[in-house]
């Protein structure tokens, strides 16, 4: 992996170059090697079927890890041990992955595993995700792993089959973009707020065709979980991936994790990882800069994640019919702010904000407080590891005493395919990543926010800047 | 392996809305399938059916003859969102063979090409022209990489050359990769040595 210093390269270039099996030509894309392939039940069954039909094996089961997250119920099994699957099809999908993993020798964090979790929460916890890797998964939020200086991106089911069979993908090299964030975030402003501000600045397709490198003082100041929140939503600006150069925080996070290199091997790996940064003089196809000091707690108002504003700011006049349609769907009017509309559901969880620091942030707001009357609040830890940690810290009791439901790990209301969903017309305040029409259930209206904002909104019953709630308490 | 694609003449079906995401194309609750088949029934489901599953009156998607309208013309930023290959599977099973927009999401494009659904991006003027004439007759010539709208001068478009080759000649991308096993093995050895250094 040692860099040849003949020309300055970006972080992305270095990782890309190290994985080229055969170079791109006019006629054919590059063959790119994959270090880590993450698998879940929804986007893999047809890929395994393809392998079986062709009589192929999984080339590198040792580089393939599977989990159950999307179709899985978050309520416990009944007295007879039966899981409350939403449909027989969901149960069959889970059984299919169990069977495929057993047949092909792929490790699965299944129901009986203490590791099981949302794929992008689980893999970093286990130390599977490491700097300089190419990580793929049949899931568009795979960019989460870019927080470690990995090149991580989502693929479709045909490509899942390609990686299972060959450990490789056919890829054209994307363009490079750098998003530099100067300054540091103000107290009470979360990584999710930064994330929504970046997406609002780029627009829903502003990152299309690019791999983004996030850089600058604000990024260095983020901890690893915050970096994951930021990289996670790169796809919401259309980007292929988001990456952050690894640093001491990255190495400290990885040290001692089960699948990270151990002992001397860790020191050797760290020496390689320390070369993963953008060289002075390397160029990007596009650069943008933002100032962290100007960012306030954010919330979306439309039906794409880039339609986001500081909480309380007036909703702008729609410029297109599609923007008008989005406001009509959300029942919002230009000039108003979304802070007057009664909230029906609050969801804390997902691969964006279902980690322990997210639950702590929400619990800090909810402690000694109650969820407002008429609001249903669901807290879903991102993994079994997060669940154990939260319960050890008593966070589950903070949530339940406030009137929220404490669930088993899974994607849950982020994608609403496991039976956890928002009713038609209801307004949901959610820490997940997509506010598309119907994403959280047919007719559901979604506002994306940080965990602290979600918790403050649960208490107030309307969309609320968590800093004002803290102030009310101080004044009382 | 996808069906081959060389030329297609069809009427268009126009949905002018921007940012039609993959949750619109096929809502997530239909993703619990383990098969690729039959997903056309779920295509645009929440636009086509009400909460009780009854067809929504006046929704054009419920009344078109998919054999007549095989080219979908959609607003900007088509198919943003999830990596679900169920989206192209659903569109194909519903009857579409091509999608035209000003921009189409990366992962969707890659997924669509692997299944014989041709995504084409065009400039704003061509897009406006197509939006203005719903059900217009269009010919897509993938060999020449040209779009023919009425009697106007053909509009050139580009498709990633390897994917184009796969569609025209029926090349099997996975088979192509499997033939390069030796190069993959050589890479694995080289990389293992580098990382051990
Ligand atoms: S939590 Fe949501 S975005 Fe993340 S993997 Fe699950 S469904 Fe996808």
Q: Is B56 on the interface with A (CB under 8 A)?
A: no
- Note the pLDDT of residue A475: 60
What 3-state class would DSSP assign to A42? coil
Enumerate the residues of chain B whose CB falls inside 8 A of the CB of residue A268. Answer: 196
pTM of the predicted model, to two decimals?
A: 0.95
Q: How far is CA A220 from the centre of its chain?
A: 19
State whether A93 and B28 contact (CB < 8 Å).
no
CA distances to A14, A213, A283, B25 from A286, rounded to whole Å, are 18, 11, 9, 31
Distance CA A82, CA A420 (A): 17
Q: Residues A409-424: pLDDT tens digits? A: 999 999 999 999 999 9
The strand pairing partners of A178, in sequence order, are A213, A287
- Number of Cβ pairs < 8 A linking chain A and chain B: 180
Quote the pLDDT of residue A6: 75
CA distance A211 to A208: 9
Residue A58: which of A169, A160, A164 has the closest Cα?
A164
Residue A342 has pLDDT above 80, yes or no: yes
Q: Average pLDDT for residues A281-299, to the nearest whole number?
A: 98
**ipTM of the predicted structure?**
0.94
| CA A118 / ligand 1 centre spacing (Å) | 7
DSSP 3-state of A396 = helix
Q: For residue A109, give the nearest of A72, A68, A164, A70 by alpha carbon.
A: A68
Q: What is the mean pLDDT of chain A?
A: 96
Q: Are B138 and B113 in contact (CB under 8 A)?
A: no
CA distance A143 to A145: 5
Q: What is the 3-state secondary structure (H, E, C) of A258-323?
A: CCCCCCHHHHHHHHHHCCCCCCCCCCCCEEEEEEHHHCCCEEECCCCCCCEEECCCCCCCCCCHHH
Report the side by side order of strands in the sheet with A168-171: A20-22, A30-33, A168-171
A405 touches A378 (CB < 8 A): yes
Pairing of the two strands A376-379 and A405-406: parallel
Residue A170 has pLDDT above 50, yes or no: yes
Cα-based distances in Å from A14 to A4, A17, A273: 10, 5, 11
Of A148-162, A388-402, B25-39, which gets the smallest average pLDDT? B25-39
Which residue of chain A comes nearest to B196, CA vs CA? A268
Would you say residue A2 has pLDDT above 50?
no
Testing the interface with B: which of A436, A441, A445 to mutate, by most B Cβ within 10 A? A436
Question: In whole angstroms, what separates CA B38 from the centre of its chain?
Answer: 16
What are A6-35's pLDDT values in tens digits? 799 999 999 999 999 999 999 999 999 999
Residues 6 or more apart whose CB falls under 8 angstroms from that of A92 comprise B32, B34
Q: Which of A433, A435, A439, A441 is the pocket-test mutation for ligand 1 (most atoms within 8 Å of CB)?
A: A433
Put simply, the chain A residues between 161 and 190 with a CB less than 8 A from any chain B CB are: 161-162, 165-168, 170, 172
3-state secondary structure of A106: coil
State both tokens at B12.
Answer: 């268009």
Whether residues B194 and A159 touch (CB distance < 8 A) is answered with: no
pLDDT digits 0-9 by tens, A99-149:
999 999 999 999 999 999 999 999 999 999 999 999 999 999 999 999 999
Concatenate the DSSP letters of all residues of A117-172 into one string. Answer: B-HHHHHHHTT---TT-EEEESSGGGGGGGGGT-EEEE--HHHHHHHHHHSEEEEP
The number of residues making up chain B comes to 197
Nearest-Cα distance to chain B for A153, in Å, is 9
Q: What is the pLDDT of residue A319?
A: 95
At CA A21, angle to CA A15 and CA A22, rounded to 5?
115
Q: Which two tokens mark A350?
A: 């997902």
Tokens of A465: 């800047």
Q: If phi over 0 gives left and psi between -120 and 50 gives alpha, with beta otherwise, what is residue A192?
A: alpha
Q: Residue B150: its pLDDT value, please?
A: 87
Confidence at A3, pLDDT banded by 50, 70, 90: very low
Number of H helices, E strands in chain B: 9, 7
pLDDT above 70 for A473: no
pLDDT for B51: 87
| Pocket-forming residues, ligand 1, beta carbon under 6 Å | A 69-70, 118-120, 139, 141, 350-351, 411, 414-415, 432-433
Give the pLDDT of residue A1: 47
Q: Show Cβ contacts of residue A162 under 8 Å, excluding neighbours closer than 6 positions.
A: A168, A169, A170, B173, B174, B177
In the structure, what pLDDT confidence band is assigned to residue A370 with cuts at 50, 70 and 90? Answer: very high
For the record, the structure tokens of B14 come out as 């126009």
Polymer length in residues for chain A: 476
- Residue A307 has, within 13 A of its CA and on its CB side, a CA count of 28
Helix axes B106-113, B86-94, angle to 10 degrees: 50
pLDDT at A471: 66
What domains lie within chain B, and their CATH numbers? 7-196 (3.20.19.10)
CA distance A383 to A390: 10
pLDDT in tens, A178-191: 999 999 999 999 99
Taking the centre of ligand 1 as the mean of its atom positions, its distance from the CA of residue A141, in whole angstroms, is 7
Phi, psi for B20 (deg, rounded to 5)? -75, 105
Percent helix, strand and coil across chain B, each to the nearest 5: 40, 20, 45
Give per-residue pLDDT as tens, A197-240. 999 999 999 999 999 999 999 999 999 999 999 999 999 999 99
Sheet containing strand B137-141, edge to edge, reads B118-121, B98-101, B69-74, B7-15, B137-141, B146-149, B155-156
Residue A474 has pLDDT above 80, yes or no: no
Residue with tokens 């997406």: A199
Which pLDDT belongs to residue A53? 96
For ligand 1, mutation pick of A415, A417, A421, A432 (most atoms within 8 Å of CB): A415
Q: What tokens appear for B51 in the block?
A: 């909460």
Residues of chain B with pLDDT under 70: 1
């Amino acid at each position: 992996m040692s860099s040849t210093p003949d020309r300055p390269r970006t972080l992305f270039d270095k990782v890309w170059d190290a994985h080229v099996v055969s170079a791109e030509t006019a006629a054919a894309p590059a063959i790119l090697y994959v270090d880590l392939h993450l698998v879940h039940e929804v986007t893999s069954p047809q890929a395994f079927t393809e392998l079986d039909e062709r009589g192929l094996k999984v080339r590198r089961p040792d580089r393939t890890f599977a989990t159950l997250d999307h179709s899985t119920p978050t309520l416990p099994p009944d007295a007879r041990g039966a899981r409350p699957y939403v449909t027989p099809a969901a149960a069959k999908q889970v059984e299919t992955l169990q069977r495929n993993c057993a047949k092909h020798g792929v490790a699965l964090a299944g129901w009986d595993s203490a590791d099981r979790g949302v794929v992008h929460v689980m893999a970093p916890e286990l130390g599977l995700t490491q700097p300089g890797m190419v990580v793929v998964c049949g899931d568009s939020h795979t960019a989460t792993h870019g927080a470690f200086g990995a090149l991580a991106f989502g693929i479709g089911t045909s490509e899942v089959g390609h990686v299972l069979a060959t450990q490789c993908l056919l890829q054209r090299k994307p363009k490079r973009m750098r998003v530099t964030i100067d300054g540091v975030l103000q107290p009470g402003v979360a990584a999710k707020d930064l994330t929504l501000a970046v997406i609002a600045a780029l627009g829903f397709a502003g990152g299309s065709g690019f791999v983004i490198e996030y850089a600058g003082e604000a990024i260095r100041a983020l901890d690893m979980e915050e970096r994951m929140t930021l990289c996670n939503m790169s796809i919401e600006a259309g980007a292929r991936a988001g990456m952050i150069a690894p640093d001491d925080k990255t190495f400290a996070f990885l040290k001692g994790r089960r699948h990270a290199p151990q002992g001397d091997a860790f020191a050797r790996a760290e020496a390689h990882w320390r070369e993963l940064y953008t060289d002075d003089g390397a160029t990007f196809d596009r650069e943008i800069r933002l100032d962290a000091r100007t960012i306030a707690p954010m919330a979306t108002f439309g039906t794409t994640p880039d339609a986001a504003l500081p909480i309380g700011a007036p909703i702008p006049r729609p410029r297109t019919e599609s923007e008008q349609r989005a406001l009509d769907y959300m029942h919002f009017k230009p000039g108003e702010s979304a802070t007057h509309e009664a909230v029906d559901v609050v969801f804390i969880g997902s691969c964006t904000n279902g980690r322990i620091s997210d639950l702590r942030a929400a619990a800090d707001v909810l402690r000694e407080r109650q969820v407002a009357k008429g609001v249903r609040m669901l807290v879903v830890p991102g993994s079994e590891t997060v669940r154990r940690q939260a319960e050890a810290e008593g966070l589950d009791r903070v949530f339940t005493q406030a009137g929220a439901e404490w669930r088993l790990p899974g994607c849950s209301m982020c994608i609403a395919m496991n039976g956890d969903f928002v009713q038609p017309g209801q307004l949901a305040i959610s820490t997940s990543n997509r506010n598309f029409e119907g994403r959280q259930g047919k007719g559901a209206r979604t506002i994306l926010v940080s965990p602290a904002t979600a918790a403050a909104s649960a208490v107030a019953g309307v969309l609320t800047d968590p800093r004002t709630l803290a102030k009310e308490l101080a004044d009382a | 392996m996808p069906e081959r694609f060389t030329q297609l003449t069809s009427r268009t079906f126009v949905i002018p809305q921007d940012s039609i995401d993959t949750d619109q194309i096929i809502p997530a609750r239909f993703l619990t399938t383990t098969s690729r088949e039959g997903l056309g029934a779920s295509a645009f489901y929440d636009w086509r059916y009400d909460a009780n599953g009854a067809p929504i009156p006046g929704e054009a998607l419920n009344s078109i003859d998919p054999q007549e309208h095989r080219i979908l013309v959609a607003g900007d930023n088509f198919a943003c969102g999830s990596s679900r290959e169920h989206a192209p599977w659903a569109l194909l099973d519903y009857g579409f063979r091509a999608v035209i927009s000003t921009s189409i999401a990366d992962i969707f494009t890659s997924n669509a090409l692997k299944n014989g659904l041709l995504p084409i991006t065009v400039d704003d003027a061509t897009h406006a022209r197509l939006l203005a004439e719903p059900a217009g007759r269009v010919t897509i010539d993938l060999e020449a990489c040209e779009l023919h709208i009425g009697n106007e001068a053909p509009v050139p478009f580009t498709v990633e050359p390897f994917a184009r080759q796969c569609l025209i000649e029926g090349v099997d991308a996975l088979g192509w990769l499997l033939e390069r096993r030796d190069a993959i093995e050589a890479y694995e050895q080289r990389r293992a040595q580098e990382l051990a250094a």
